[in-house]
């Protein structure tokens, strides 16, 4: 979505709902129109239970004034309605996994979390009707694009449509953002170790911070993670995040593998934790937030792993430090495409990935990384040892890896999008 906005900065954006902090940071000047679901209190947490309403929400947008519509979809956006003469280009990140290939996996996970049989029955009934709508909606776009060959195959299987592959753009050449301060000191340049700082202060409070803000700045840092300040700590309408700038143990983690990911069960990050239990001489850093954060933290503590660190949230400005310092990047699940491994490669870092999904398209075996075949701790730990040996023997060419990552640039993406538009006789270049 950010890339499409950069290409068409004046085009309005229609979305089911949005996060205000995200928009203020990445789309500050965008004209955004949300659906009626945006007014639902606590929509960020409730939206999984409101999926049955999302077809109606996406179809509620009146797009009759537009001749060209571009949808960026992984569940519902492809279902927008348009006038007969309009052209609709849909860029698929993935057909809905919950509705198609992970339906039963989702049900098993629901049971394991101790949810009731009645709720599960309601979900299955809802999935049935959503599948009918989803397949019908998939026939609406005039042109179907996929973010990888892997996703294109799934589009063909579930929707019966041919998709042209256009790889998404990846932020490249971020090395200029890396601060020169030693990692063992702090990853935030002049910021003192073990301090906290405030991000995204409301404009009302930026110039005249209240007593609560001054107190918040003195909240003891939560080591290894970031937390949102509880709602009762600050006035209504005030929004900010405290990001912990901790004295990371990177000073001793000289040889570390890196994972940057949302922490969800299907990401299989617990597999990496298990694997590094058998690799005491190597280290693992995990960056990200999500439902699995507490489980992973508990597992690391239970296994008494001193070589695995869960950092939680790290800002985009500081993420390059971790890419630049890692030995290699690690993928433990079947990705549709995967942006983070390309970012790692833009720093000349090889990738160790599970040999399924989009990783097979972005990683060149033996040149920009290696693969492992089974989602088993022993298989992964063996692969980690093998790629580590290759790295230390100079097997991978850093410049060649960086060069490969340039194939996924924004300029290339923009050109391919305009080629599609020209194909539709829209001379907007």
Instruction: Write the pLDDT tens digit of every residue in 30-76.
Output: 999 999 999 999 888 888 788 899 999 999 999 999 999 999 998 89
pLDDT digits (tens, 9 = 90+) for 317-375: 888 889 999 999 999 998 888 888 999 999 999 999 999 988 999 999 999 999 999 99
In a domain, 429, yes or no: no
Q: How confident is the model at residue 248 (pLDDT cuts 50, 70, 90)?
A: low
In a domain, 291, yes or no: yes
In a domain, 383, yes or no: yes
Residues 73 and 116 both lie in one domain? yes
**Average predicted confidence (pLDDT) for the chain:** 80
Task: Compute the average pLDDT of residues 412-423.
Answer: 91
Helix, strand or coil, per DSSP, at residue 123: helix
Task: Compute the average pLDDT of residues 87-91.
Answer: 95
- At residue 178's C-alpha, the angle toward residues 177 and 182, to 5°, is 155
Residues 46 and 125 both lie in one domain? yes
Q: What is the pLDDT of residue 255?
A: 85
Lowest mean pLDDT among 153-157, 221-225, 314-318, 390-394: 221-225
Q: What is the pLDDT of residue 426?
A: 54
**Alpha-carbon gap, residue 320 to 338, rounded angstroms:** 17
Residues 363 and 295 both lie in one domain? yes
Helix, strand or coil, per DSSP, at residue 197: strand
Total domains in the fold of the chain: 3
Q: Is residue 121 pLDDT above 60, yes or no?
A: yes
Helix, strand or coil, per DSSP, at residue 20: helix
In a domain, 119, yes or no: yes
Helix, strand or coil, per DSSP, at residue 155: helix
pLDDT digits (tens, 9 = 90+) for 253-284: 568 999 999 998 889 999 999 999 999 999 99
DSSP string, 380-420: HHHHHHHHHHHHHTT-S-HHHHHHHHGGG-HHHHHHHHHHH
Q: What is the pLDDT of residue 219?
A: 42
Q: Is residue 100 pLDDT above 70, yes or no?
A: yes
Residues 404 and 418 both lie in one domain? no
Residues 227 and 303 both lie in one domain? no
Q: What is the CATH number of the domain that holds 115?
A: 3.40.50
Q: How confident is the model at residue 123 (pLDDT cuts 50, 70, 90)?
A: confident
In a domain, 180, yes or no: no
Of the chain, the percentage scoring pLDDT greater than 70 comes to 78
Q: What is the pLDDT of residue 115?
A: 66
Task: Compute the average pLDDT of residues 195-221.
Answer: 37
Task: Compute the average pLDDT of residues 145-167.
Answer: 95
In a domain, 189, yes or no: no
**Alpha-carbon gap, residue 265 to 424, rounded angstroms:** 41
Residue 292 domain boundaries: 252-408
Residues 218 and 268 both lie in one domain? no
Residues 75 and 112 both lie in one domain? yes
Q: Is residue 142 pLDDT above 90, yes or no?
A: yes
User: Which residue has better confidence, 1 or 419?
Assistant: 419
Beta strands 227-228 and 195-199, pairing class? unpaired
User: Which residue has better confidence, 216 or 383?
Assistant: 383
Of the chain, the percentage scoring pLDDT greater than 90 comes to 55
Q: Is residue 183 pLDDT above 60, yes or no?
A: no
User: Which residue has better confidence, 318 or 138?
Assistant: 138
Q: What is the pLDDT of residue 45?
A: 81
Q: Which residues, other chains included, contact 134 with Cβ-Cβ below 8 Å and sequence gap of 6+?
A: 75, 79, 95, 96, 99
Q: What is the pLDDT of residue 60?
A: 96
Q: What is the pLDDT of residue 111?
A: 67
Residues 263 and 237 both lie in one domain? no
Task: Compute the average pLDDT of residues 140-163.
Answer: 95
């Amino acid at each position: 979505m950010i890339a499409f906005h950069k290409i068409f900065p004046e085009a309005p954006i229609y979305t089911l709902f949005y996060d205000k902090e995200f928009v203020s940071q990445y789309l500050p000047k965008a004209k955004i129109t949300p659906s009626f679901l945006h007014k639902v209190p606590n929509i960020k947490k409730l939206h999984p239970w409101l999926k049955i309403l999302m077809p109606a929400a996406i179809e509620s947008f009146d797009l009759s004034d537009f001749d060209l519509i571009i949808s960026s979809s992984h569940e519902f956006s492809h279902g927008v309605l348009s006038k007969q003469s309009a052209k609709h280009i849909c860029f698929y990140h993935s057909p809905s996994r919950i509705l198609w290939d992970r339906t039963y996996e989702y049900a098993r996970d629901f049971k394991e979390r101790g949810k009731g049989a009645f709720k599960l029955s309601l979900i299955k009934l809802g999935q049935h009707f959503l599948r009918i709508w989803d397949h019908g909606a998939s026939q609406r776009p005039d042109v179907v694009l996929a973010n990888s060959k892997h996703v294109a195959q799934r589009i063909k299987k579930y929707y019966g449509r041919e998709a042209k592959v256009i790889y998404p753009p990846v932020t490249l050449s971020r090395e200029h953002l890396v601060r020169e301060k030693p990692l063992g000191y702090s990853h935030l340049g002049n910021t003192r170790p073990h301090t906290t700082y405030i991000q995204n202060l409301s404009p009302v409070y930026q110039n005249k911070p209240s007593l609560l803000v001054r107190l918040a700045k003195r909240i003891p840092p939560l080591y290894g993670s970031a937390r949102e300040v509880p709602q009762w700590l600050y006035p209504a309408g005030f929004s900010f995040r405290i990001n912990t700038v901790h004295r990371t143990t990177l000073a001793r983690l000289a040889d570390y593998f890196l994972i940057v990911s949302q922490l969800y069960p299907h990401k299989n990050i617990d597999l990496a934790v298990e694997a590094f239990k058998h690799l005491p001489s190597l280290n693992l850093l995990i960056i990200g937030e999500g439902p699995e954060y507490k489980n992973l933290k508990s597992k690391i503590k239970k296994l008494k792993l001193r070589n695995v660190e869960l950092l939680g949230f790290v800002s985009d400005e500081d993420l390059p430090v971790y890419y630049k310092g890692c030995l290699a990047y690690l993928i433990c699940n079947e990705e549709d495409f995967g942006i983070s491994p390309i970012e790692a490669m833009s720093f000349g870092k090889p990738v160790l990935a599970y040999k399924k999904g989009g990783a097979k398209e972005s990683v060149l075996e033996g040149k920009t990384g290696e693969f492992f075949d089974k989602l088993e701790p022993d298989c992964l730990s063996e692969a980690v040892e093998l790629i580590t040996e290759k790295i230390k023997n100079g097997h991978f060419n850093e410049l060649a890896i960086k060069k490969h990552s340039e194939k996924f640039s924004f300029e290339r993406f923009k050109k391919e999008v305009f080629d599609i538009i020209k194909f539709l006789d829209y001379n907007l270049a």
